Amino acid sequence: MTFTTTDANLQRHVELLIEDWFTQSGLRARKDDGDDVNSFLNCVGFTNAAAECMRTYLNTIPADRIARGILARSIFEVGVTCVWLALTGLDGFEALRWDEQRQKKALANEMKGFDSNEELSQTIAKVSEQEPHPKNDRAEQARYFSQMVKSLDTGATPLYVIYRMYSEYSHASLGVSNSYIDEDDAGEVGVYFPARHQALNDHMGTAVAPFVWAVNAVNKMLIDEPFSGRLTTMKALLETGIDFTLTE
């Protein structure tokens, strides 16, 4: 079978995959010994988030390139995290729990100095006094996205480079997102939108791929692997691998 990779064709097929994801009548996980249901449930949650962001990305007009860039980065984050969690299993889930508690305790400690009602003050005190969740070898990967990416064997796909490019484009720092600056003959400086050059998020395949990776990761956990047909089509259209392994 021959596929034509155009943005319109790619969009049509990813819309079908999104529809399949949201209309699947129950996601039944395999019951292998040693499988962790919490990892499975959270992988489903990450994929659901990626699907919602993907749908919003497709419904956002191409002219709103900053919005599309931010959405694409979000899809990338949750898609990659899903793949990482699917591969690390219970260790990955416990690492995410450690990082979640770390963030909650930091927030609670910051809120101690605020004037809060009694109920909120009790909650803050309770969170602050919790015993630290055990920290395992995957904890720093859960905390730092760069380390999470480095733990994945991605072949020729430069995951962290793609992520940084989205971030640079989505959040202005020393420059202004999606703009260019010109100086006229009188020396006056003007800022113009949009930028003359195409941005990374104009390539739909880069935004679509992490959602496909996430669905593929969950599909492998399911009885009968119901998304296999759609994923085969997406792999052919993307012309890249959708399976990853751990580097360590």
pLDDT for residue 69: 85
CA distances from 161 to 17, 94, 138 (A): 26, 27, 22
Number of domains in the chain: 1
Weakest-pLDDT range from 19-28, 42-51, 200-209: 200-209
pLDDT at 4: 56
Domain assignment present for 181: no
100 located within any domain: yes
The C-alpha atoms of residue 24 and residue 43 are separated, in whole angstroms, by 16
Q: Is the pLDDT of residue 196 over 70?
A: no
Q: Is residue 159 part of a domain?
A: yes
In a domain, 205, yes or no: yes
Whether the pLDDT of residue 221 is over 90: the answer is yes
pLDDT tens column, 66-121: 888 889 999 999 999 999 999 999 999 999 999 999 999 988 888 887 777 888 88
Asked whether residue 229 is assigned to any structural domain, the reply reads yes
Q: Is residue 179 part of a domain?
A: no
Residue 210 has pLDDT above 60, yes or no: yes
Give the chain's mean pLDDT.
87
Whether 185 is covered by a domain: the verdict is no
**What's the domain range around 18?**
7-24+35-172+190-243
Cα torsion for 141, 146, 149, 154, to the nearest 10°?
-150
